[in-house]
A and B are shown apart, each in its own frame.
Chain A
């Protein structure tokens, strides 16, 4: 298909109205390229060369050499064929770029000439285009894209098509504790999702997360992503809060990092129960502090650590880093399943019972009122949690990285137990019994060590000395 492009006498200056053809450089029928000089012209002002506006073959020449014509007169024609390109065009305004359509499956001509991506075929008739993401998903799931009904352009399989074909992912199995092969202590069965207040790992609280100095933008952005209210069919989707996301991340990373083992020790808390009843009012009146069983356990724990320092250590590479201080984290559950947070009593080894109670109460109170600072939750060396307040008698807490031990204090339950007196006679007595469940990292702490630590702690509690809190 041939088109003709006109060559006209140009206006060589504002006041110029005509021009003379001086010399034709090409003859009719000769090939010429765009911008190649076609003829020479002269006017009052200037002699100049005229380039061809197109590539093609010189057609008719209307104005012979020596003739003077008005500006705008057609001098010649250029015949532009298939191989020719038409002259300069204004750059086209950008709208949608043309995407090459993927080959249609029932189009007998097969692959189009300028397809951008060759079909990454996984079998079938091979004519339907498979995009990279579809190929990846197909490979991951062992699905042949040719077997998937396609709703995309040209009948191709889209990402949505193959995801719909595969179906929703199966419900994730509960995470089992990792156990080292040479464990000495018995490994309790995994309670997994069934242990509700097994508050364990402390998430980095939202205050410590890289918070933008300007809160509003993130809140605005968060408001853009609305959880779907109400139920859709049988389900209601509630998006994770920032705290929940952090907890989720920390929990799974902790399980992947440490060799979790849990050991349990039964403790007779009868003595502590009596003691607390005796002294709590006096302590409250003298020092303005409310003392709980947990505080007793905390104080006893610190003493035991002095004899078994590895439970307060940290693993770095292939070394154990022993600390000369105890920063005791105490888990606080937040209302409504919102999450948990573990503020830390710093240098707990310097505090007596009253000091520990005061510090722990202050932290718990501020945690519930969301007034903790990033410093309050950083630097813990060991963690204590007390699901016992809800009645649990056993737990398998998850370590609060990078710590190597975490203690659950379970419920104090009155049970009949056998007591042996000094002469060796047995009687049955009603005693307040509490389980202490400690999870620890078997990379550093062996079962024997852990249980001996627990035994020491048990002794501290069962033989609690009144003088311990006064000093």
Chain B
């Protein structure tokens, strides 16, 4: 299957920027300017998510974790902060891989302009000051990889000193796969025979789709349901 394009990310993530109000520490104005898959809008959410995942799975410093569908690897950053484990993110998106070594500056400015504001003055500058830092999009390695070939799996093993990872964790990804695609991916990923596999996903989304139990039955793997953090398997 294809990875997300920039257009896919912009559609899937569309969040009005929250602008602090001076002198009112609990007040945040909702700007009409929307950002997308950017640190200011999603990093805190992903960090909070990984706080829960680490606790649920008991990941420790000796673990070697590959995060599948890692995006820019903000979850990998948090995972390493919490556990000091070895971790690497993988994502097959051409958009992620072509932009991960740059900053968010151009995209933020473009979003501000698209909303009818000037990034250099007024409210546009106010939002830019909230949203933009000079940080690189990815501060941890993110490989273009999906574990679906021997080479792909060997490339991941190289990140861990030519040993298999202890965990494969797919992050908010599995619901984009068809059952046939899942079956193929599963058979390839399980060639890492000593690796445990867990899928973090949205159950019942889209509506009336699979529950965590259904996903567990489909994959035979542990499932963590986002939101409730219900664990199956």
> Do A and B form a real pair?
no
Which residues on A are within 8 Å of B, measured CB to CB? none
